[in-house]
């Protein structure tokens, strides 16, 4: 259990706390705490990869768990936004669809001893999701303290629909770049 893998595990462990703060609005500064936890968890995603590559600590466990930790973090945050209308359920369905398709491609590739690494579109997808969720949580944190004259729900949905579109484009990109493997099935 090296440092990058510990950071990945920490990201997963932080998720229930973020969920608690996002769903229980009676807790003082709930969205502020959710924002802090989400940002810290997102930063561990950046750090674990950089540390693993720079110190040659890349492991099969890390390759397996890191993308799962990202999915748990992002999808949990999006699902928690649904009850208050900050995330449309179709957004989560599109994101889950993409994740199931890409994960299935990776499983098929693994059965053929091929590794499908994260591509640029996948990294863009993850970055857009994390930035959008951070922005929404930031706006909700400010709204808690100050009456904003903006429609946070509209902004949240626009940002998250953009991330859903990027997820869909990323899915198409992964299918296109792995079409030869799909044809062989």
pTM of the predicted protein model:
0.91
| pLDDT tens digits, one per residue of 100-148 | 999 888 888 888 887 777 789 998 999 999 999 999 999 999 987 787 7
- Give me the CATH topology for the region 3-183: 1.20.120
pLDDT score at 63: 79
Evaluate whether 60 touches 51 at the Cβ level (below 8 Å).
Answer: no
Rg of the chain in Å (alpha carbons): 17
Q: pLDDT for 67-106, tens place per residue?
A: 899 999 999 999 999 999 999 999 999 999 999 999 888 8
- Looking at residue 78, its pLDDT comes to 98
* Mean of pLDDT over the chain: 92
Identify which of 156, 164, 18 has the alpha carbon closest to the alpha carbon of residue 93.
164
Percent of the chain residues topping a pLDDT of 70 = 99
Q: Residue 11 and residue 178: Cα distance in Å, rounded?
A: 29
- Of 34, 49, 164, 56, which Cα lies nearest the Cα of 117? 49
Q: What are the structural domain ranges in the chain?
A: 3-183
User: In sequence order, what DSSP letters do the residues of 96-147 get, joined into one string?
Assistant: HHHHHHHHHHHHHHHHTT------HHHHHHHHHHHHHHHHHHHHHHHHHHS-
Q: How confident is the model at residue 30 (pLDDT cuts 50, 70, 90)?
A: very high
Residues 129 and 163: beta-carbon distance below 8 Å: yes
39's enclosing H/E stretch is helix 30-54
In the prediction, which pLDDT does 61 show?
83
């Amino acid at each position: 259990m090296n440092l990058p893998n510990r950071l990945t595990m920490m990201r997963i462990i932080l998720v229930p706390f973020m969920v608690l703060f996002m769903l229980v609005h009676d807790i003082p500064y709930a969205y502020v705490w959710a924002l802090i936890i989400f940002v810290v968890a997102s930063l561990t995603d950046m750090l674990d990869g950089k540390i693993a590559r720079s110190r040659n600590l890349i492991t099969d466990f890390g390759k397996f768990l890191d993308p799962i930790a990202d999915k748990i973090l992002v999808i949990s945050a999006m699902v928690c936004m649904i009850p208050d209308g900050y995330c449309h359920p179709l957004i989560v369905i599109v994101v889950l669809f993409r994740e199931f398709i890409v994960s299935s491609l990776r499983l098929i590739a693994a059965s053929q001893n091929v590794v499908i690494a994260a591509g640029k579109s996948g990294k863009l997808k993850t970055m857009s999701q994390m930035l959008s969720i951070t922005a929404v949580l930031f706006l909700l944190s400010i709204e808690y303290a100050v009456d904003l004259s903006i429609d946070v729900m509209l902004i949240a949905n626009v940002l998250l629909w953009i991330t859903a579109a990027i997820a869909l484009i990323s899915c198409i990109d992964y299918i296109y770049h792995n079409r030869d493997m799909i044809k062989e099935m």
